[in-house]
Structure 1
Amino acid sequence: MRHRLLAALVAAPLLLIATPAAAAPQDTYAALGDSYAAGVAAGAYDPASGDCRRSARAYPALWAAGQHPAAFVHAACNGATTEDVRRDQLPLVPADATLVTLTIGGNDLGFADGVVACLQPFSTDGRCDRALDETERRLREDLPGRLGTLYGELRAAAPAARVVVTGYPHLLHTGTICTIGTDARRVRFNAVTDRLDELIQQQAGKQGFEFADVRPAFAGHGVCSGGSQEWITRFVLTHLQESFHPTARGQADGYLPAVTAALG
C-alpha cells in the first residue's frame, strides 16, 4: 500500500455473532478489499502482511477463526483501489472458493484527500467543497465502470462462490458541537458515503452479490458521538494511516452483524 498523509478511507467483511450456521469443512473463504477489510486501526497486525496491515481483529479473520473454513485467504490491503484488487488480489482467489467478501471503492474516490480537506484543523469550507466536488465527479464518472469490471472479473474467478460486498459506515456523527470539521462538512461527507454505498449496492446486485449495509450498525458511533461511543478513530498522529478507520469494536460490532444479516 502507498503511504499517504492518511491511509485511504476505505473501506468490509465477515464473522458471525449470534448462532449462524458454521462453515462446512470444505468451505474456502477469500477476503478481498482495502484497509477496512484488512482491519487497519484494529491492531494485532500480522507482521507478514507488511504495509497491508492485516489485523487478526478484522471481520474476515474473526470469521475464519470462529468458523474454521478448510482454507482462508486474507488478501485485503491498506490503500487498495479497485485496480489493485484486480491486479494483486483476484489472482489469489481459489477457483473453488465458496465464499468471498469484498470492501472497495473509497480509495478510488480519494476519500483520504476529503478527510484532510474537510476535517483537519484550520481547513476551510472552500477547500472541503473542492475536494468533495472531485470525489463526487469520480463517483459519477469513474467508479461505476471500475466496480462493474471488478465485480464481473470476480464472478469469473470464483463462479461458485457466494459473494458479500460491504459498504462503508458514516464516519461522522452530526448535530453536535465537535472539533472535527463543521457540522455542515460532516453532513456533506456522510452524504457522499451514502451515494457511494448506493452505487456499490447497485453494481453488486447486477452480479447477484449480497450487499452488507454497515450504516445501521454504526449509527451513533461515528466520530463526534463522544468517548467510548466512537467506533471510528479520529486523527491518529503517531500512525496517520489509522485515522478514520473502524476500531476493533467497529469491526466486531459494526461490520460483523451487517455481514451476518447479508448471509441470511
Structure 2
Amino acid sequence: MRRKLTPWLIAALTATGFGLVHATAAGAAETGPADYVSLGSSFAAGPGIPDLQPGSPSACGRSTNNYASVLARDRGLGHTDASCSGATTANVVTTGQAGQPPQVDAVTADTTLVTVTIGGNDVNYLGSINTYSCQTSGGSDCGSVDTAAIDQAFGELPGRMRDVVNRIREKAPSARILVVSYFSLLPPSGACDGVPLTDDQLGYEHSIADRLATVTADAAGATGAELVDLAGASRDHSACAAEPWVEKYTAPAGRVTYHPNEAGMLGAAQLIESVL
C-alpha cells in the first residue's frame, strides 16, 4: 500500500532523525526499470543529508533521502538519479559534470516520469546569498556579487529552461515532466540569528528568488510541463522559521548552508505526490 507522507510523519521522522530509507526496503527504488528519472542541481540532489547514494559521485552529493528518492520509494518506482550539486542548465542538456555525461542522457524512451529542479546556479542564487552572508558576518575572502552578470543570466535563463524541458521531451515523448521550483530560503522580512543579511541584501535575494520562481513557472507553462510550486509551499518554512525546511548560513557540521534538510525533502516529496 502506498504510504501518504502526512505532516505528522514528516514531524516524526525529523524528530527521530530517521528518513524513509529506514522505513522502507533499502534499494527498492533501484530494482525495477528506470521509469522515473530525477534531474537538477543540489536542491534536487540533497548534499549533506544522510546517506550518500552508493556508487554516485561524491561531488554530486546525491542523498538517499532527497525528494526524488523518497518519492521513488513511496511509489515503488524504478529510479535513476542524475542530479548533481553545482549543476546548471548546460549540465542537464549538453555538458558533463563530475565525470558524468549530461544529465538528460539518463532519460530514455521508456521513462514515464521526470522531475527537474534547475536554474539557480545559472543566476548565482546560492553563490550570492553565501557571499553576502560571509561579508555581513565579518568573514574573509568572501568575494563579491556581480549583479550585472546576474541580470544578464536572467535574460538568458528563460530560453535555457525551455531547452531543458524540450530536450527531456525529445528523449521521452510520453513522460510526465514536472518542473520543481526552488525552496524558499529566506523570511519575507527581517533576518534572524544564523542568517546574516542586511535589509538591502535580503531584498536583493528575494528579488532573485522571485525572478527564478517566475522563470521556472513560465518555462513549465510554455513547454506544457507541470509546475510543482515548491517555492510557494515552502514559504513558511524558511531558514528562520520554527519548522525550517532549509539550513541557515550557520549550518551544523556536515550540512550545507542554505540547502534543504530532511523535513524539506519530505515536504517536497509530499507536494510532488499531490501533483501526481
Q: Same fold (TM over 0.5)?
A: yes
Matched, 1:113 2:127: yes
Structure 1 gaps of 5+ residues are 1-14
**CA contact 2:42–2:83 (8 Å) conserved in 1:** yes
**Partners in 1 of 2:188 and 2:223 — Cα distance?**
34
TM-score (normalizing by structure 1): 0.80
TM-score (norm 2): 0.76
Partners of 1:132 and 1:252 lie apart in 2 by 33
* C-alpha distance in 2 between matches for 1:154 and 1:225: 35
Name the residue aligned to 1:224: 240
The aligned counterpart of 1:83 is: 90
Instruction: Find the counterpart in structure 2 of residue 57 from structure 1.
Output: 65
User: CA, structure 1 residues 80+27, in 2 after alignment: closer, same or farther (shift >3 Å)?
Assistant: closer
Matched, 1:33 2:29: no
Cα contact 1:96–1:158 (8 A) shared by 2? yes
Stretch deviating more after TM superposition (171-180 or 56-65):
171-180
Task: Percent identity, please.
Answer: 29
Distance 1:225 1:131 in 2: 29
Instruction: Tell me the CA shift for residue 93 of structure 1.
Output: 1.0
Helix, strand or coil: the match of 2:237?
coil
The residue that corresponds to 1:256 in the other structure is 269
Question: C-alpha displacement at 1:136, in angstroms?
Answer: 2.8
How far apart in 2 are the matches of 1:67 and 1:169? 23
Q: Determine the structure 1 residue equivalent to 2:81.
A: 74
Match of 1:138 in 2: 153
Q: Are the equivalent residues in 1 in contact too, given 2:237–2:244 (CA < 8 A)?
A: yes
Cα RMSD of the aligned pairs, angstroms, is 2.7
Aligned partner of residue 217 in structure 2, secondary structure: helix
Is the 1:174–1:183 contact (alpha carbons within 8 Å) kept by the matching residues of 2? Answer: no
Residue 191 of structure 1 is matched in structure 2 by 207
Name 1:97's counterpart in structure 2: 111
Cα drift, residue 96 of structure 1: 1.3
Over 3 Å counting, the alpha-carbon distance change for 1:239 and 1:137 in structure 2 is: farther
Structure 1 residues 233 and 203: alpha-carbon distance in aligned structure 2, compared to 1, 3 A threshold: same
Between the two proteins, the alignment pairs up a number of residues equal to: 236
Deviation >4 Å, runs of 4+: 127-130, 237-240
1:163 to 157, 164, 177: 177
Query: How many Å apart are 1:196 and its aligned residue?
Result: 0.8
Name the residue aligned to 1:215. 231
**Is the 2:115–2:177 contact (alpha carbons within 8 Å) kept by the matching residues of 1?**
yes
- CA deviations on 1:81-114 (whole Å, 9 max, x unpaired) are 1111113211111211111100100011112331
Larger relative CO (CA 8 A, sep 6+): 1 or 2? 1
2:154 aligned partner, one-letter code: L
In structure 2, the partner of 1:244 is 258
Q: Report the Cα distance in structure 2 between the residues aligned to 1:44 and 1:146, rounded to whole angstroms.
A: 31
> SS of 2:178's equivalent?
strand
- What are the Cα deviations for residues 205-229 of structure 1, in whole angstroms up to 9, with x where unaligned? 2221000111232122212335xx2
SS, match of residue 48 in structure 1: coil
Structure 2 CA distance, aligned partners of 1:176 and 1:145?
34
Aligned equivalents of 1:128 and 1:257: distance in 2? 37
